[in-house]
């Protein structure tokens, strides 16, 4: 009986922490209802089980919320769905990176790529950006420790991006 009581208390604390984020996210037009928060916590439980992870203390979800709430690619219509997916990606890559990277470093890396390279595409974030970075970490890369996860992915990005210089080069080839 005491186990159930402790789980209920922990869930209530996590629920309260998630709803408390509304004070910050409201200025970005984002808010969670109690039902939304319960759904996210239920999905968190499923994801932890699927990834064979346990989480002591606070949930990672409020940190995800604070990191991503100002995103250009998140609005109220996709907010809950995006948070659920971000937490799935987070736990997957904590495993893939063998817990070598801190929560904050991983969140900074995720946010930076989500905004600047993936343009809100969660599949690209998961299947390309983080997969390449995880491979580097498993191979021994530790440069992210000095940068707190900022500006790291470009060192491993092997895709030539469409930029102004590339545009001019392509235009020059078309006109010649």
Instruction: Identify the band that residue 14 occupies on the pLDDT scale cut at 50, 70 and 90.
Output: confident
Across 123-148, average pLDDT: 84
CA nearest 29: which of 62, 69, 82, 64? Answer: 69
* pLDDT given for residue 1 in this prediction: 45
pLDDT digits (tens, 9 = 90+) for 80-126: 999 999 999 999 999 999 888 899 999 999 999 999 888 999 999 99
Is the alpha carbon torsion for 148, 100, 131, 95 positive or negative? negative
> Which residues, at least 6 apart from 136, have a Cβ–Cβ distance to it below 8 Å?
155, 156
The CB-side HSE value for 146 (13 A sphere, CA atoms) comes to: 4
CA nearest 68: which of 88, 55, 82? Answer: 82
pTM above 0.95, yes or no: no
On the question of pLDDT at 29 being above 70, the answer is yes
User: In Å, how far from its chain's centre is CA 78?
Assistant: 14
How far is Cα 113 from Cα 149, in angstroms, rounded to an integer? 11
């Amino acid at each position: 009986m005491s186990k159930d009581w402790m789980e209920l208390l922990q869930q209530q604390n996590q629920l309260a922490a998630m709803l408390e984020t509304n004070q910050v996210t409201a200025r970005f037009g984002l808010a969670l209802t109690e039902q939304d928060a319960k759904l996210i916590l239920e999905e968190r439980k499923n994801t932890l089980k699927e990834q064979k992870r346990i989480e002591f203390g606070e949930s990672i979800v409020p940190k995800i919320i604070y990191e991503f709430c100002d995103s250009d690619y998140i609005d109220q219509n996709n907010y809950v769905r995006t948070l659920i997916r971000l937490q799935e990606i987070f736990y997957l890559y904590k495993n893939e990176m063998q817990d070598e990277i801190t929560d904050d470093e991983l969140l900074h890396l995720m946010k930076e790529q989500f905004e600047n390279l993936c343009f809100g595409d969660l599949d690209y974030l998961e299947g390309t950006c983080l997969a390449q970075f995880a491979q580097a970490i498993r191979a021994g890369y530790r440069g992210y420790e000095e940068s707190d996860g900022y500006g790291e992915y470009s060192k491993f990005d092997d895709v030539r991006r469409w930029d102004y210089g590339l545009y001019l080069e392509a235009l020059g080839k078309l006109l010649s």
